């Protein structure tokens, strides 16, 4: 990886920590989020060009305030403290942090001194997001004030001699319109970065590293057809060719034609050794009579592992198992102290069941949008790279009640029409997840002169960034009208279509 330049981000538990890392990478500098209590030796080993302290919910003078090793200020590495990071810097270096009577929140006019290298090129007033109660009431010796607002006397400070900077506002969020330039100034004017982080160099260097690591040994990958496992598989195949075998389980719960599409891309376009296991009957018989959503999930998860294990046994011992782990999984699984924890409910737990010696995780350092860029760089088709999230238990949790072959067929057709019309209306990039649900409800309708008694399809479409919360998408009536009319006309056994207008919370995105 051509990431010789590194910015370390010390995580003090703020909610925007990952965003800071992404913004730094958007400026073409590689960044890593690390726990606030990282040791000085570790920092020296990593040899960063600069360090950023994140914000955080604590008060720096509180008993359990997270604190970094104080020696960090003497390493000679430039540091930018954001919000709590600035307050901590102040507290440790002898300034004063006080508590305001009222919290300052919102985009606020900040007066800045643009002779500071941090604000080079800025107008003297800028709107930045402030979100704090504590504030720096007097800066430490050797520092000077470089920004203020009506209610915050020290919204920015610098010590040019020691290359230490603090800002009370959040440059990483979109509400801080020019915030990215503050970060850019820190990287380029203060840390003297040259900006060598690019996806194309990531691909080349990862392929080289994988070649060195794997050599001519055998690698196995569980391919789901999702973005992460697909990009990981193609990267590894670029490095080791036919020594990679991908196992793709088609449990019959994928969307219309999805199994064939995945097979086609990986065998025809990339010439990867792919074993497609068609095991629909096996899954459906296990699901027969099961109506409880959690029971369905459990059965599918267990059966998935069992089939994978059987297939892997046929191949015998492999040296490496590919996992599509991405950076947010690494950060969220306990490295940092952020209070936002995403629930992971992927089907899997594969490593325990497969005979392998080591795991390779080629995407471990990438954010989702970087995984997508990598996918495009590798030539993976756009529709796969920008595929919306699809749950591991697949359509089984979108057929309410018992899952049967007939019901799956109805749902696949209705869902495919919905997706097609969303794409025709060019809404597919603005709606983050959209799909059809086969409710277990039958109702009376009339077609021609005939009474019908058939299923109701529900349409679900949400706009969200984190999938933890989301709002229902305001799809134009004309599009909904077309979808509804096509579904009742083209899909047998459906005589009614409804649109789910519930946000999350209180509803979840999936119906089960
Ligand atoms: P909910 O329904 O909890 O979904 O609002 C949030 C996101 O997670 C996906 N989801 C799952 N993904 N296995 C998965 O791999 C599951 O069991 C599962 N349940 C929900 C859902 O599609 C949405 O993107």
Question: What is the per-residue DSSP string for 481-508?
Answer: HHHHHHHHHHSTTEEEEEE----BTTS-
Q: Is residue 124 part of a domain?
A: yes
Strands 471-472 and 450-463: antiparallel
Q: Indicate if 83 and 205 belong to the same structural domain.
A: no
User: Is 279 annotated in the active site?
Assistant: no
CA of residue 262 relative to chain centroid, distance: 22
Q: Are residues 143 and 233 in the same domain?
A: no
511 C-beta closer than 6 A to ligand 1:
no
The set of residues, in sequence order, having a beta carbon less than 8 Å from that of 83 and lying 6+ positions away, is 14, 54, 55, 56, 131, 132, 167, 168, 169, 170
Let me know if 309 is exposed, middle or buried by CB neighbors in 10 A (0-12, 13-18, 19+): middle
| 2 located within any domain | no
Cβ-proximal residues to 409 (8 Å cutoff; 6+ apart), any chain:
none
Q: Is 345 in the pocket of ligand 1 (CB under 6 A)?
A: yes
Catalytic-labelled residue, pool 27, 60, 83, 191: 83
- Asked whether 322 and 220 are in contact (CB, 8 A), the reply is yes
Q: Is there a single domain that holds both residue 349 and residue 448?
A: no
Q: For residue 334, is pLDDT > 70?
A: no
Kindly state whether residues 217 and 182 are assigned to the same domain.
no
Residue-wise pLDDT for 280-320, tens only, equals 999 999 999 999 999 999 999 999 989 988 998 898 889 99
Q: Residue 206: its pLDDT value, please?
A: 94
| Residue 372 located in a structural domain | yes
pLDDT band of residue 351 (cuts 50, 70, 90) is low
CB 163 within 8 A of CB 118: no
**Which residue among 362, 385, 408 closes a domain?**
385
Provide mean pLDDT across the span 434-439: 98
**332 pLDDT tier (thresholds 50, 70, 90):** low
Does residue 470's CB lie within 6 angstroms of at least one atom of ligand 1?
A: no
For residues 7 and 50, the answer to whether their CB atoms sit within 8 Å is yes
**Whether 140 and 252 share a structural domain:** no
- Classify the C-alpha dihedral 76-134-116-196 as positive or negative: positive
pLDDT of 338 above 70: no
- pLDDT, one tens digit per residue, over 161-176 is 999 999 999 999 888 9
Give the burial class of 446: count Cβ atoms within 10 A of its Cβ; 0-12 exposed, 13-18 middle, 19 or more buried: exposed
Q: Give me ligand 1 centre to Cα 339, in Å.
A: 20
Query: Is residue 475 a contact partner of residue 499, using CB atoms and an 8 Å limit?
Result: yes
Q: In which residue are the tokens 């050599």 written?
A: 215
Residue that is last in its domain, among 160, 190, 220: 190
Q: Both 134 and 225 in a single domain? A: no
* CATH number reported for the structural domain that contains residue 204 in this entry: 3.40.50.620
Mutate to test the pocket of ligand 1, among 467, 471, 503 (most ligand atoms within 8 A of CB): 467
Residue 433 CB–ligand 1 contact under 6 Å: yes
Q: Does the Cβ of 452 fall within 6 Å of ligand 1?
A: no
Place of tokens 């799809």: 475
CA distance 58 to 497: 49
- Give the residue numbers spanning the domain of 447: 398-499
Pair type for strands 219-222 and 244-250: parallel
d(CA 386, CA 381): 9
Residue 16, domain CATH: 3.40.50.880
Who's near 63: CB < 8 A, 6+ residues apart?
none
- What are the CA-CA distances from residue 268 to residues 63, 188, 277, 373 (Å)? 61, 44, 17, 22
pLDDT tens for each residue of 241-291:
999 999 999 999 999 999 999 999 999 999 999 999 999 999 999 999 999
pLDDT tens-digit readout, 466-492: 788 899 999 999 999 999 999 999 999
Q: Which two tokens stand for residue 511?
A: 């119906």
State how far the Cα of 26 lies from the Cα of 196, in Å rounded to an integer.
11
Q: Which of 158, 172, 258, 377 is catalytic?
A: 172
CA 295/CA 348 separation, integer angstroms: 15
462 with 472: CB under 8 angstroms? yes
Q: Which pLDDT belongs to residue 59?
A: 94
Token pair, residue 243, equals 């020594």
246: in domain: yes
Residues 68, 213: one domain?
no
In 10 A of CB 201, how many CB atoms? 13
Q: Is 170 a catalytic residue?
A: yes
Same domain, 243 and 364: yes
Last residue of a domain, which of 358, 385, 412? Answer: 385
378 Cβ partners below 8 Å, 6+ apart?
Answer: 203, 231, 234, 235, 238
How far is the centre of ligand 1, averaged over its atoms, from the C-alpha of 508 (Å)?
9
Number of domains the chain is built from: 3
Separation of CA 128 and ligand 1 centre (Å): 34
Q: What is the pLDDT of residue 465?
A: 82
Average of per-residue pLDDT values in the chain: 92
Determine, yes or no, domain membership for 511. no
Cβ neighbours of residue 87 closer than 8 Å, sequence gap 6 or more = 59, 60, 81, 97, 134, 135, 136, 166
> Which helix (H) or strand (E) segment is 273 a member of?
strand 273-278
- Region 319-338 average pLDDT: 72
**Would you say residue 336 has pLDDT above 70?**
no
DSSP 398: T
Average the pLDDT over 216-238 and give the result.
95
Which of 170, 193, 221, 311 is catalytic? The answer is 170
Q: Indicate if ligand 1 lies below 6 Å from the C-beta of 346.
A: yes
Does residue 166 share a domain with residue 39? yes
Mean pLDDT, rounded, for 378-403: 95
Distance 434 CA to ligand 1 centre (A): 12
Q: How far is CA 191 from the centre of its chain?
A: 28
Could you tell which of 225, 324, 389, 507 is best to mutate to test the pocket of ligand 1, judged by most ligand atoms within 8 Å of the CB?
Answer: 389
- Please check whether residues 113 and 39 belong to one and the same domain: yes
333 falls in which pLDDT band (50, 70, 90)? very low
Per-residue pLDDT at 356? 80
pTM above 0.85, yes or no: no
- Give pLDDT, residue 312: 87
Q: What digits encode the pLDDT tens for the residues 10-56?
A: 999 988 888 899 899 999 999 999 999 999 999 999 999 999 999 99
State yes or no: pLDDT of 60 exceeds 90.
yes
Q: Do residues 159 and 28 share a domain?
A: yes
347 vs 372, residue with greater confidence: 372
Mean pLDDT of 397-418: 98
- Classify residue 512: in a domain, yes or no: no
- The answer to whether residue 341 scores a pLDDT higher than 80 is no
Pair 371, 416 in one domain: no
| Tokens, residue 54 | 């994140």
Dist. CA 4 → ligand 1 center (Å) = 37
Greater confidence, 340 or 303? 303
User: Per the domain annotation, does 504 fall within a domain?
Assistant: no
Confidence bin at 355 (pLDDT 50/70/90): confident
CATH code for the domain in which residue 439 is found: 3.30.300.10
Q: Is residue 312 part of a domain?
A: yes
> Which residues touch 253 (CB under 8 Å, ≥6 apart)?
280, 283, 300, 393, 394, 395, 396, 403, 408
352 pLDDT band (50/70/90 cuts)?
A: low
pLDDT tens for each residue of 43-53:
999 999 999 99
């Amino acid at each position: 990886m051509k990431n010789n330049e590194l910015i370390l981000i010390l995580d003090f538990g703020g909610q925007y920590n990952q965003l800071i890392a992404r913004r730094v990478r958007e400026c073409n500098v590689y960044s890593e989020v690390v726990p606030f209590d990282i040791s000085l030796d570790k920092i020296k080993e990593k040899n960063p060009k600069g360090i950023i302290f994140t914000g955080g919910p604590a008060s720096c003078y509180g008993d359990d305030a997270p604190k970094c090793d104080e020696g960090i200020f003497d390493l000679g590495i430039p540091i930018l403290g954001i919000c709590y990071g600035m307050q901590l810097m102040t507290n440790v270096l002898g300034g004063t942090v006080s508590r305001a009577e009222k919290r300052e929140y919102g985009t606020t006019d900040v007066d800045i001194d643009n002779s500071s290298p941090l604000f080079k090129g800025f107008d003297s007033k800028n709107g930045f997001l402030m979100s704090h109660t504590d504030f720096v009431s007097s800066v430490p010796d050797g520092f000077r004030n470089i920004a203020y607002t009506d209610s915050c006397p020290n919204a920015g400070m610098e010590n040019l001699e020691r290359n230490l900077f603090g800002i009370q506002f959040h440059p990483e969020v979109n509400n801080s319109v020019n915030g990215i330039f503050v970060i850019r100034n820190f990287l380029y004017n203060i840390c003297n970065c040259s900006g060598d982080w690019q996806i194309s160099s990531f691909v080349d260097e990862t392929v080289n590293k994988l070649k060195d690591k794997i050599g001519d040994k055998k690698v196995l990958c569980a391919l789901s057809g999702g973005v992460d496992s697909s990009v990981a598989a193609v990267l590894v195949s670029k490095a080791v060719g036919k020594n990679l075998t991908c196992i793709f389980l088609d449990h019959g719960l994928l969307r219309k034609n999805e199994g064939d599409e995945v097979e086609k891309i990986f065998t025809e376009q990339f010439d990867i050794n792919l074993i497609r296991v068609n095991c629909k009957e096996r899954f459906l018989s296990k699901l027969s009579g099961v109506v409880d959503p959690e029971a369905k999930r459990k059965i599918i998860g267990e059966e998935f592992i069992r089939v994978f294990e059987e297939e892997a046994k046929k191949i015998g011992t492999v040296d490496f198992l590919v996992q599509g782990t991405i950076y947010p999984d690494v950060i969220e699984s306990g490295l940092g102290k952020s209070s936002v924890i995403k629930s992971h409910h992927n089907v899997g737990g594969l490593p325990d069941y497969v005979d392998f010696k080591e795991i390779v995780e080629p995407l471990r350092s990438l954010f989702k949008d970087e995984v997508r860029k990598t996918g495009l760089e590798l030539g993976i088709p756009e529709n796969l790279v920008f595929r919306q999230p699809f749950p591991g238990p697949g359509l089984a949790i979108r057929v309410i009640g018992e899952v049967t072959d007939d019901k799956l067929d109805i749902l696949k057709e209705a869902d495919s029409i919905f997706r097609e019309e969303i794409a025709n209306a060019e809404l597919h990039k603005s709606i983050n997840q959209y799909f059809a649900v086969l409710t277990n409800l039958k109702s009376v309708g009339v077609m021609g002169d005939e009474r019908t008694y058939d299923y109701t399809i529900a349409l679900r479409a949400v706009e969200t960034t984190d999938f933890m919360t989301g709002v229902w998408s305001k799809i134009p009536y004309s599009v909904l009208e077309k979808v509804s009319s096509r579904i009742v006309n083209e899909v047998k056994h459906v005589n009614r279509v409804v649109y789910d207008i519930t946000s999350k919370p209180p509803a979840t995105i999936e119906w089960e």
